[in-house]
Amino acid sequence: MKPEELFSLKGQTCVVIGGTGELCGAIAIGYAEAGAEVVLVGRSEEKAAEKLAVIEAAGGSGYFLPADVSSAGSLQDLLNQVVDRSGKVDILVNGAGVNSATPFLEIPEDEWSRIIDVNLTAVFRACQVFGEYMKNATHPCSIVNIGSMSGLTPLSRVFTYSATKAAVHNLSKNLAREWGENGVRVNTLVPGFFPAEQNRAVLDESRIASIMNHTPMNRFGNSDELLGAALLLAAPKAGAFITGIEMVVDGGFNSMSL
């Protein structure tokens, strides 16, 4: 099989929650270039329009749908709209996320609850809604949940974020175990340090220097450098026997201790 066939998403419909953001937006564009019809889900129609313009210029197809990830009803409406418009869903990417640098002893409960709801409970909701559909589908399906290096190795200054991402990693493995025989693959894509919007608030000069000292490649990742791994996890042929894994893309950060 040729590589372009192995990693092809032709005929696939992919829903990217968080697709209006920087990292998931790059994944969405790459999926569209690989042949998928991409549904961008987020809060900003303006940001979606920018991504869709790139997709259209590359000869791909896609559209934007708003959804409230804090509501299972809204996510069910999202699923129904996609199925009505595109006929099916093959791939779900859960990539919405928020962060905070509040010191642990100063984290208020409302901040804790908000980050948990966006980073973890929204993934739970989306996996419930789309997972029910995918389990009963007659075609193989894939869920790619966006984790974090902090879900593997706790990082300072991002306590709540780290806890939520560790839980997403565990949830993904449990769902892979539960749904494997139903033809639904569930994996976690684990970025290292990329220029995501939620990271900028916690990056000052000293923290950047610390990150670089712990990253063998001595640089941040570029958003399009997640695409190869994201394609492998989503592609029905290349990733056909891959489920329950944490695929790390981090420039070597996780391999280094001193």
Give the fold, CATH level 3, of 9-247: Rossmann fold (3.40.50)
- Among the listed ranges 10-24, 33-47, 119-133, 183-197, which one has the minimum average pLDDT value? 183-197
Residues 6+ apart with CB under 8 A from 171: 120, 123, 124, 127, 145
| 84-103: b (≥16 Cβ within 10 Å) or e | eebebbbbbbbbbbbbbebe
Alpha helix segments (H runs only) across the chain: 3-6, 22-33, 45-57, 72-86, 109-116, 122-135, 159-179, 205-213, 227-234
* pLDDT classification of 201: cutoffs 50, 70, 90: low
Specify which residues 91 forms β-bridges with: 14, 142
Query: In sequence order, what DSSP letters do the residues of 33-76 get, joined into one string?
Result: HTT-EEEEEES-HHHHHHHHHHHHHTT-EEEEEE--TT-HHHHH
Pick from 120, 211, 113: nearest CA to 165: 120
- How do 246-249 and 37-42 pair as beta strands? unpaired
Give the tens place of pLDDT for each residue, 156-175. Answer: 889 999 999 999 999 999 99
Q: Which of 31, 63, 133, 161 is catalytic?
A: 161
Contact 161, 99 (CB under 8 A): yes
Pick from 150, 161, 174: nearest CA to 120: 161
Whether 161 is a known active-site residue: answer yes
Read off the pTM.
Answer: 0.95
Q: How many residues does the chain have?
A: 258
Give the tens place of pLDDT for each residue, 202-255. Answer: 677 888 898 999 899 999 999 999 999 999 999 999 999 999 999 999 999 999
